[in-house]
Amino acid sequence: MGAEVVAGIDCSTQQTKVVVVDAATGEVLATTRAPHEVHGRDGARETDPAVWHAALAGALAQTGMADEIAAIAVGGQQHGLVVTDRAGAPLRPAMLWNDVRSAPQARHLVEQHGGTTWWAQQVGVVPVPSVTVTKWRWLREHEPEVAARAERVQLPHDWLTGRLTGEATTDRGDASGTGWWSSIHERYHDGVLGASGIELDVAALPRVVGPREQAGETTADAARDFGLRAGVPVAAGTGDNMAAALGLGLGPGTPVLSLGTSGTAYARSTRPASDPSGTVAGFADATGRFLPLACTLNCTLAVDRMADWLGLDRDEVSERSHVVVLPFLDGERTPNLPEASGLVVGLRHDTSAGEILRAAYEGAVASLIEALDAIDRHSSGVDPDAPLVLIGGGAKGATWRDVVQRLSGRALRIPAEAEHVALGAAAQAAGVLSGEEPSVIARRWGHGAGHEIDPVTRGDDTLERIVATRTAASFLLRGPGG
């Protein structure tokens, strides 16, 4: 009999990826992907969950190994709101994490409970439009008939796991991004669920599965739909950031920047984070510890759009720039400016297109560097001597690496393997087979290793110029609803 193989799933905003891994060695045997459709304008971002179902079926079929998989787990985009009937059939398209229509509801929820300090100390997360609880309140206000019919309220990872098992489960990592599960108290928060405008019965929410527990086994329907064998163990799964941290085999305090459509900064912590400013979300992780994290809406996609407007390739940048670009093309989460738009300051007759493009990179990265500093203050700390681990699509770009290196002043580590979300889920799957701690498995597999780039002097002058511009332009950045 051959080696056991496991599968990890990454259901992201734009696509579903599947990796098939040798459970003993961590060797990646297959990597496949299938795209998603995202719809919406004027702040709306939605996907029909049926798209995720079809994408997972397609990606599993492409591996050619679906019937060999011995265990499986799902890593999914955080915060999305999926409302279904009792059988798990969606009642409407899922509202995605980057849907910012619930900005007014976020403000009302903060005011309703007496400010940001209550949320930070009671829940660990201060509501911003990405957080699930704000989307649920938006749904109750704008589509009350749908909310009244909802018998299950889930996240994308929860829903896909349920397609595999027929059960309603989640994990503490992904649940900690909802705004109604508290990483401080390790439970659903009655005060949030019972609040005016929320009024959500805990029976509609999924059971929280522990880091080393099974969510269930693949059903006969899942075997038919996905080409898997019935009865295959399904691990807890988790949110995409938690899965990536697990796949990297991170120890506490090692900082990470993920450069994708959005940007994220995080580090594993031995204690929960509580940041009243709302910059740092006090998430739980997939190991029983914590993952304080800050997220920006505008990263690689925004910079690529600037390059398109300027008629440049993405690496056609000047060596230096005195321009400031605040690339908040989709509103922004960090800083919390959901109705902001992009801003360019400091143009002169002799300003080159390359200077503007470099400034767009700097504007995107500056928010993430500020976020890392905040994570250091509000957690068990960021190791000052650890290299900054750079992942995501942007980590492959020469200009992204250069700008992160200059603005952070840290050594960089670029892991050789790219699919860390799916690999983290695969480590969870391997753990339910062997009974071993998934983080131990991930470290043994070694997918967080890579080459390192030496540090340079931190670019505090550039950071200060960006922050000063953002402060001076605060009225403009608040947008029409500010």
Q: Give the whole-angstrom CA distance, residue 414 versus residue 398.
A: 12
Tell me the Ramachandran region of residue 288: left when phi exceeds 0, alpha when psi lies from -120 to 50, beta otherwise. Answer: left
Read off the tokens for 412.
Answer: 């960089």
Read off the tokens for 372.
Answer: 């890392």
**Secondary structure (DSSP) of 365-429:** HHHHHHHHHHHHHHSS---TTSPEEEESGGGG-HHHHHHHHHHH-S-EEEES---HHHHHHHHHH
Read off the tokens for 79.
Answer: 């915060």
Task: Output phi, psi for 445, to 5 deg.
Answer: -60, -35
Taking a C-beta distance cutoff of 8 angstroms, is the pair 78, 240 a contact? yes
Of 97, 204, 211, 214, the C-alpha closest to 161 is: 214
Q: Give the whole-angstrom CA distance, residue 332 versus residue 262.
A: 10
Q: Which of 240, 285, 330, 402 is catalytic?
A: 240
Read off the tokens for 341.
Answer: 């738009």
Of 37, 7, 10, 45, the C-alpha closest to 23 is: 7
Active site residue 313: no
Q: Give the whole-angstrom CA distance, residue 47 versus residue 50.
A: 8
The residues annotated as belonging to the active site are 240
